[in-house]
Amino acid sequence: MIALVGTLAAVLAAWRCRATLRNNLLLPARLPEKRLEGFDPDDLVALLDISSDWLWKTDDEHRYVHLTAGLHDHSMMDPADFLGRRPWEIDSEASPETWERYRRSIAQGEPVRLEITRHDRLGGRRHLELTGGPVFVDSLFVGYHGFGRDVTRYVEVERALRENQVRYQEVIESIKEVIFRTDTNARFTFLNRAWERSFGHPLRDTLTTSIVDYIHPDDQSTVVTEFARVISGAAPAYAGQFRLRAHNGETRWIEATAHPVSKRGGAAEPEGLVGTLFDVTVRRIAEMTLRNLNQELEARVKLRTAELEASNRELEAFSYSVSHDLRAPLRAIEGFATILEDELADRLDEEARGHILRIRKASQRMAQTIDDLLKLAQLARQQLHEETFDLSELAVQILDELRAADPDRKVAVDIAPGLIVTADRNLMQVVLENLLGNAWKFSAGRDETRISLSAETNRDGQVFCITDNGAGFDMAFANKLFRPFHRLHGSSEFPGTGIGLANVHRIVMRHGGRIWATAKPNEGASFYFTLGH
């Protein structure tokens, strides 16, 4: 279009003396006619009509006297609105200052350039650009001739670009991360306001300084090397953490990213770096605090482990003492009681014989209690040997042994088949022996004993249940069930040492599970347990 304007300007200069230019330009015919080789005036006017430019002409009082068809065809404006009127008399959105400068230019006979905004016949806003210069005939000023063009598209594009730039700037400034750009020497060429907000360095003092100037001395060498590798193409990008000095002297931990950037893009030689800086000091302090806490915890665990090992050694020594030092007196008590019973059998009355029997039974119960206590202590130290097996089969074996020991009992057994578990088989045998043994023991007074083993799956995983129709118990005392030596029934009615359920509880806990019970007096009990898998 610039070339077209230049060509038409030359044509006008060459044809200033022509009487008419297809009734568009009316100049005196006294000047000698000049032709532009290869062009006919009609061709030039036709060419102008199909372009977005148009010609305008004013008289010596700067009233429009002619406008070519382009104004109507390309800008959808009626030339009649212009003819006979000066530019500042036409309805437009130009400011008074604009018209003042325009009138001053034509008063001095200077070339003019004017941008005005008007509404077309459809009500749309159109932006027009008018350029021209004075015309003289025999040194006599006769008016202005010039070109007009519709620049609406360019104005709108420029406005959209400005608006996008404003929005882009608003987004950039609202981001908490520092966005930066440097040249090949790592000097800042751009920073958003997050730099000032995060680290306190004024932007005006920072731009053109090097990012290296703000990095902690201990980290400078590493960061400079990594940045150089990115700029040289040896590395595609940088991502890492380093320390940076804030304006108030504090040292801040920074998480940084950077990649090369070039004005021409593509494979062009990098002209610097663009990237982000994010203050992660709080997170870094939390990580270091957590690491210190972990180290302290590990030290405490080692100390506790050493203490536990010492305690276990003491417990083993105590167990040995219990096993040997207490058993000897018990054996002596039972032995002498047996001797007395054998040697004085003919001289003992029923009351004396009863006393001796109670002595022997008490010593036997004491020996059994010692055995149970040793088992309970061993459970805390015994290592788990997990395997996958059928819990149902193990329960059937235990109930068969109970039947064999008491064949006269009428017992209905319901064992759910295929209860597969992964656990320590020996320890689970202890669990079932105690739970099924209790169910067998506490339901002895029923005409028909009913014992069942079942399982169901819920949010806690697989829950096993052993139910009986025995004596049950009062739930008010349920919290004592799994404590050593706590019994809810008298030993004369139901014999035992009160250690069995404590062993069961410890085994279940060792497997990562839990155990609980529900019951009613004389209506049976149900014991539930999980194994933590």
pLDDT per residue over 397-444, tens digit each?
A: 999 988 888 888 888 999 999 999 999 888 888 889 889 988 888 888
Cα 203 to Cα 183, 207, 478, distances in angstroms: 17, 6, 72
Residue 211 CA, distance from chain mean position: 29
pLDDT per residue over 109-163, tens digit each?
A: 999 999 989 998 888 899 999 999 999 998 899 999 999 998 989 888 988 888 8
Order of strands across the sheet that contains 178-182: 188-191, 178-182, 272-279, 251-261, 238-245
pLDDT per residue over 263-284, tens digit each?
A: 665 556 778 899 999 999 999 8
Q: What is the model's pLDDT at position 22? A: 31
Mean pLDDT lowest among 325-334, 352-361, 425-434 = 325-334
Residue 16's pLDDT band (cuts 50, 70, 90) = very low
Order of strands across the sheet that contains 525-529: 411-415, 449-458, 461-468, 525-529, 515-519
What six digits make up the tokens of 124? 């749309």
- Long-range contacts at 258-264 (CB < 8 A, ≥ 24 apart): 258/227, 258/230, 259/230, 260/230, 260/231, 260/233, 261/181
What six digits make up the tokens of 181? 């750009």
The C-alpha R_g of the chain, in whole angstroms, comes to: 53
Residue 326 CB coordination number (10 Å): 15
* pLDDT reading at 529 higher than 80: yes
Strand partners, 390: 420
